[in-house]
Structure 1
Amino acid sequence: MSDDSRTPEPGDHAGQGEPAPLLDELLCFSLYAASRAVTGAYRPLLEPLGLTYPQYLVLVALGEHGTMTVKDLVAALQLDYGTVTPLIKRLETNQLLERRRRTDDERVVEVALTPEGTALHRHIASVPPAIGDAIGLAPEEIATVQGLLRRLTANVHRHTAGAGG
């Protein structure tokens, strides 16, 4: 009987010689699990406010930048139009932001917080400290993780852009 007919062992690529990666060894899985854990920590803080995590991010971006074009908001959130547009519509329905076309170029849509959105933005200032407590890292550790994640993101964007993706 040849080696190719053997039953593959766990972690084996069906006899190809290279072991398959283990779940806990995959950086992508560690990032995914951490992301789910952190965004899950936001849920009990945001649900009473009637916000989802992506809607929260829109409020944070608009609170930081003021009036933004949809294009700039898409770029800031690193999301696509198909994801951001429903967020904007839902927040507008809830009277937390307003959309308007620029008078000098009607193709450009701007979004800004309403007075209700501004009040809610002030209220959500308590969220980051609560999340910081849940994360349980020292401020310098958080800064290190953020720096590494920003570098990782930039590297992947550069790599995929260079590969035509």
Structure 2
Amino acid sequence: MTTDPLALEAQVCFALSAASRGLVALYRPLLDPLGLTHPQYLVMLALWDGDAADAPATVTHLADRLHLDAGTLSPLLKRLESHGLVRRERAVADARVVTVALTAEGRALRERARDVPPAIVAATGLSLDELEHVHRAASLVVDAARRGGALAG
């Protein structure tokens, strides 16, 4: 690594930003046949996790889990709802709370999405060990950003 602290190549933010764009680009051709964008895929992953645990999702819980604000998440949910994958409802006990549930079509999409993770592994050309290392390192950065108040959740 260069000794110049302002060199572009020395910036962690640059490496993470470029890696993120590149990885999302690898996902695009895999998600297009599912009718999902990458952000929508992340929402569906969170909902599938909750569905498997039989845990009801609220917009607030999803926003925290995905490190998004409700204003960013709401259009994603609206789009997923327009595609028939989720259903949003206001809670009877508290109209401020919006719950999000998978539809039958949203649950069925999970089976079609099973091919995405192994295809991403193949597309990166990295080993599972290498990808797990990247995941652990990126998770440390996410945790640091959360502790610093830069991320929700």
TM-score (norm 1): 0.81
Query: What is the one-letter code of the residue matched to 1:54?
Result: P
| Match 2:14 to one of 21, 25, 29 | 29
Q: Deviations over 1:1-32 (max 9, x none)?
A: xxxxxxxxxxxxxxxxxx67222121111101
| Match 1:157 to one of 120, 132, 146 | 146
Partner of 1:115: 104
List, as ranges, runs of 4+ consecutive aligned residues in structure 1 with deviation greater than 3 Å: none
Change (3 A) 1:60 1:161: closer
Query: What is the one-letter code of the residue matched to 1:33?
Result: A
Q: In the alignment, does 2:48 pair up with 1:60?
A: no
Query: What is the one-letter code of the residue matched to 1:70?
Result: V
Which stretch shows the higher mean deviation, 149-158 or 87-96?
A: 149-158
| Percent pairwise identity | 45
**RMSD across aligned C-alpha pairs, in angstroms?**
1.8
3-state DSSP of counterpart to 1:118: helix
Query: What is the one-letter code of the residue matched to 1:138?
Result: S
Query: What is the one-letter code of the residue matched to 1:32?
Result: S
Give the number of aligned pairs.
144
Q: CA–CA distance in 1 between the matches of 2:75 and 2:60?
A: 14
Deviation, 1:122, is 1.7
Can you give the 5+ residue segments of structure 2 that lack an aligned partner in the other structure? none
